[in-house]
Every structure is written in structure tokens, then in C-alpha cells.
Amino acid sequence: MITKRVYIDHLKNVGLFNECSRKDLERIAANSDAVDLPAGRVIMHEGREGSEAFVVLKGTVAVRRNGRKVTELGMGAMVGELSLLDGGVRSATVECVTDCTVLVLTRGALRGAIEEVPALSHKLFAALASRLRDLDGRRYV
């Protein structure tokens, strides 16, 4: 069984949370749970609403857009973060390629952590801005 302490070690390597302190991550991890999923299990469907994100703790997932495989991601990758933040529809389908363990982060848990520590929202915004700049730079280079 993976402990909450291990969750923190994984969360600190996720881009969205790279500005967060260990204490911030402890608040997020306290309300997160690890779930074991079998190979072939779809964890999110493109076009459907979502309210959680998943951090891959073990295994490999495939990301598909419009039915085409975009990439495979492994330990430390996060999927579903946009829906975690805005509750909008999923931009991709994600399926377990192998047996996986994922950390489930709910929008409610993240909002609760932000209410406890309002400065956390500034850290998340900074991380998102950095990612957008990176994507923008790749698109126009």
C-alpha cells in the first residue's frame, strides 16, 4: 500500500504543483486517494465532463485525441488537470496500457486546500502560465 508521504513525493514532480511547498502538497495529498486499475481500463473519456485529475504512480497510460494515440505517459505524469481546474469537458481519452496505480485528485480537495492556503492559487496560476508560455513557444518556433 502506498502511503500519503509517497503521494507528496509524486506530487512535487508534477508540473502543475512545482511551485508548491511541501506543506501545500501535504494538504493536497491528505484528500487524495490511490486507486489500482487494470490494463485496458479507461480512466477518462474525451468530450465528457470531468472533476478530477490523475497522477500516474505506477504503470503506463495511453492518451488519445479524436481516436488517435497522441502519447504514452508513465510514473509522475498527470492527466485531467484542466477539468480539475475548470470542470470542463475532457480534451482526451486516457486508458491504462498496463496495470496502473493512480492518485485521484478531486476538484473539491484542491479547492479545500486553496481555501486553507489562498496563496496556493497564486502558485498554481504561476505554474499554468509557465506551461502556457512553453506551449506557445513550441507552437510558434
Containing domain of residue 51, as a range?
4-115+126-131
Burial label for 47, CB within 10 Å (0-12, 13-18, 19+), is: exposed
Using CA atoms, how far apart are residues 71 and 59, in angstroms rounded to an integer? 14
**Per-residue pLDDT at 14:** 83
Using CA atoms, how far apart are residues 57 and 6, in angstroms rounded to an integer? 9
- 89 within 8 A of 48, measured Cβ to Cβ: yes
Question: Domain for residue 141, yes or no?
Answer: no
Question: Domain for residue 61, yes or no?
Answer: yes
Question: Domain for residue 136, yes or no?
Answer: no
Question: Domain for residue 14, yes or no?
Answer: yes
For the chain, the domain total comes to 1
pLDDT in tens, 28-66: 888 788 999 999 999 999 999 988 989 999 999 999 999
